[in-house]
Structure 1
Amino acid sequence: MTQSERVLVTGAGGYIGRHVVDALVARGQEVTAVVRPGSAATINSEARVVEFDLLAPSADFSVLLEPAPTAVVHLAWEAGFAHNAPVHMQKLSDHFRFLEAATEAGVQRLAVLGSMHEIGFYEGMVSAETPTNPLSLYGIAKDALRKSSTLAFGDRVALQWLRAYYIFGDDRNNKSIFTKLLEAAADGKSEFPFTSGAARFDFIHVAELGRQIAAVASQAEVTGIINVGSGTSVSLGEQVEQFIRDNDLGIALQYGAFPDRPYDSREIYGDATVIRELMAKDAAGVQGTDQR
């Protein structure tokens, strides 16, 4: 475990954010959790909670960055499940402005949540060197934020780009297919319209993802693009059928009712070599070495 540091987490009231805060608190970090004004999210009581409109064009970041925390975990994003919502591009410059301000303020590490949707259509294992070709506004915005941040201040801060894949767990607090299955069961439905279910993805439980993100953000040696995920692929059909069994939902999937999304790969998963090594060293109380 690292010595206690001040860590600022944006998007702390979101689906992933609450688990990252929990993981950082468990590590003994001094956490400031930034949530949207009026947020009803339940945040770990050991974290300091600040309500702040991070993406407002007139936002004064000195409220959060003076004095500068040691690290920032930037998870805040709008409409993450609506991949072609215009807001992804409309807010892009606001994300950049915040990360630039954090760098200027003297933050030592920036851990920023990326997405497999930066890659676009791709078959097989994604490494840090895999070229990006995003096919949705969400993917384009994430990819642009990574590239612009790396170019503008990547040489002045330990920039950690956390490329996430498919996330499950805590399923009443997101907008995924798992949430929709729970809602369908609650409505008494016995069938659920589905895609072919054949595509294979890298699934990770949100609590484990939170631990991975916290481990990355708590050290400075591992930087650059870091795949946060399981490093294995499971078909969407298998994962959903298992979820139905685990939760005793009594729902049958109507395979083929919806077409597969044209920008989803038949199989895509992250190379988890770096995160596995980091987690192993972290568990042993040893800092990792530079794996940029």
Structure 2
Amino acid sequence: MKKMILVTGASGYIGPHVINALLARGHGVIATGRAPSSNDPRIRYIQCDIEAIDSALFDSTGLPDVCLHLAWRNGFMHNANSHIEDLPGHFAFLMRMASLGVRQISVVGSVHEIGYFNGEIDEHTPANPRSLYGIAKNALRAALEIKLPELGAQLQWLRLFYILGDYERGQSVFSKILLKEKEGQAFIPFTSGLNKFDFISLAEVSSQIAAMVSQSEINGIIHGCSGRAVTIREKIDEFIAQQGLSIRPQYGLLPDREYDSPCIFGNAAKINQILQITSSS
């Protein structure tokens, strides 16, 4: 079934890629964001903050079937105060959408909700976040789990892991490697690189998000992940080789972050089930 989907954070890091994945599935898109957008005629784009999104926005289109909430400031700065400062606004916006009658509330979460952990995480793994980013995301999810059912709305919480891609617009270590290469730097100091993370490409996770909102039978916490763990060192060496870079990492010069898990990866059972049931839709 084709749906009308409100996408917030449309001009952010993953927004444009998710919108393309939604359009590829034939969905209609109402996109909002702080930056001007491209002039894609398939998208109704509105430049605004989430505080300005209310019932008047949907006078010409009718209420969307899904609210897909991607908007989030400073996602790469894990201890920015904005995560806590903006939390009430995120909650108020999503409750407002549910109060208007949107019954499918889909929100992007983060592996940083879990905090320090070793091994596979599933939807029942206890959360103990160790960064302001993780604390805010976890608090939003917990609050929505309590309040959305009171309004007859369902929550889909796609907990994202470590995303690779669109390095020019990102702020990951891979983006920093490209920047240092352009600056002519021969070496880049790094941590031990031995932590194992669940890496997933931006294209793949965008497809997962589009599949998730295309259905409403599977809800709750859903992991946007590959389901396997790889050392950051292996990924960096692979990235440098694939990009044909001359810069070389100097492992062990920087301390590992205290809140980074030694090995963490997601259980992909629910997202794989979703991909299977939506593959023909």
Q: TM-score range by the shorter chain?
A: over 0.9
1:144 counterpart SS class: helix
TM-score (norm 1): 0.92
Q: Deviations over 1:121-158 (max 9, x none)?
A: 00000100000000111000000000001111135212
Structure 2 distance, partners of 1:33, 1:233, is 33
Q: Structure 1 residue 234 and structure 2 residue 250: aligned?
A: no
Within a 5 Å distance, the mapping from 1:32-43 to structure 2 comes to 32-36=30-34, 39-42=35-38
Report the CA distance between 1:281 and its aligned residue.
Answer: 2.0
Report the CA distance between 1:45 and its aligned residue.
Answer: 4.5
Q: Structure 1 residue 277 and structure 2 residue 273: aligned?
A: yes
Query: Of 8, 11, 33, which residue of structure 2 is paired with 1:10?
Result: 8
Structure 2 distance, partners of 1:76, 1:88, is 12
Aligned equivalent of 1:288: none
Checking the alignment, whether the CA contact within 8 Å between 1:65 and 1:105 is kept in structure 2 is: no
Deviates further, 228-237 or 148-157: 148-157
Aligned equivalent of 1:180: 176
Q: Deviations over 1:82-112 (max 9, x none)?
A: 1111110001000000000010111121110
Structure 1 distance, partners of 2:147, 2:128, is 21
Query: Of 124, 128, 147, which residue of structure 1 is paired with 2:123?
Result: 128
TM-score (norm 2): 0.95
Q: Structure 1 residue 110 and structure 2 residue 108: aligned?
A: no
Report the CA distance between 1:235 and its aligned residue.
Answer: 0.4
Query: Of 46, 50, 55, which residue of structure 2 is paired with 1:62?
Result: 55
Q: Structure 1 residue 256 and structure 2 residue 252: aligned?
A: yes
The Cα RMSD (Å) is: 1.4
Q: Structure 1 residue 95 and structure 2 residue 87: aligned?
A: no
Checking the alignment, whether the CA contact within 8 Å between 1:184 and 1:192 is kept in structure 2 is: yes
State how many pairs are aligned: 278
Checking the alignment, whether the CA contact within 8 Å between 1:31 and 1:48 is kept in structure 2 is: yes
Structure 1 distance, partners of 2:189, 2:266, is 28
Structure 2 distance, partners of 1:41, 1:271, is 35
Structure 2 distance, partners of 1:96, 1:145, is 6
Residue identity in the other structure for 2:10: A
Q: Deviations over 1:258-292 (max 9, x none)?
A: 1110000000000001101211222144xxxxxxx
Distance 1:25 1:265, change over 3 A: same
1:112 counterpart SS class: strand
Q: Structure 1 residue 146 and structure 2 residue 137: aligned?
A: no
Distance 1:248 1:44, change over 3 A: farther
Checking the alignment, whether the CA contact within 8 Å between 1:18 and 1:44 is kept in structure 2 is: no
Aligned equivalent of 1:215: 211
